[in-house]
Amino acid sequence: MIEFWLAMKSLHEAATAEEIKARIGKLGPANQRQWGKMDAAQALAHCSIGMETATGDKKLPRMFLGRILGPMVKSKMLGEEPLRRDSPTAKVLIVQDQRDLNAEQARLCKLVDRFCVAGPGGCTTHPHTFFGALTPEEWARLMYKHLDHHLRQFGV
């Protein structure tokens, strides 16, 4: 199991956090979404909500469907494959109001730094809304994959 986690990127690794922040910094108004409905600022705000969930700042309720399907798809979501386009998301995580791109970039970078510096002890013990209980390593992997997914959505 140790080899499995060593081969995968994690937001607990400083180099990975720096890579993600550099990609966030490259996102600009010219970057058009390649899938989905949110614009770049909304997608970053959506990612910040995910990070706030991982740190325990937000405690979202478990989804009924997640209680049934979550355990079955959790290992696939945490695997080496990137998240697929148009992956479903919980309605509470969808951002529909207009956001300021620069403000959302700063907010998300600050959360990435905080998550990385805090390490495993900074992860919530509250269950994920869909997947249920996650270890700190699983949170770090999932948060990396989620951020990577939305940055790829805008070509960065």
**Tell me: the pLDDT tens digits for 8-47?**
899 999 999 999 999 999 999 899 999 999 999 999 999 9
CATH of the structural domain 10-153, one choice from 1.20.120, 3.30.310, 1.10.10, 1.10.3470: 1.20.120
What residue spans define the domains of the chain?
A: 10-153
For residue 118, how many other CB atoms are within 10 A of its CB?
13
Inter-residue contact 92 to 52 (CB < 8 Å): no
Name the one residue in this structure whose structure tokens are 């013990």.
Answer: 125
Runs of H (alpha helix) within the chain: 2-6, 14-26, 40-55, 64-77, 101-118, 136-153
Q: What is the pLDDT of residues 79-106, one digit of tens each?
A: 888 999 988 888 889 999 999 999 999 9
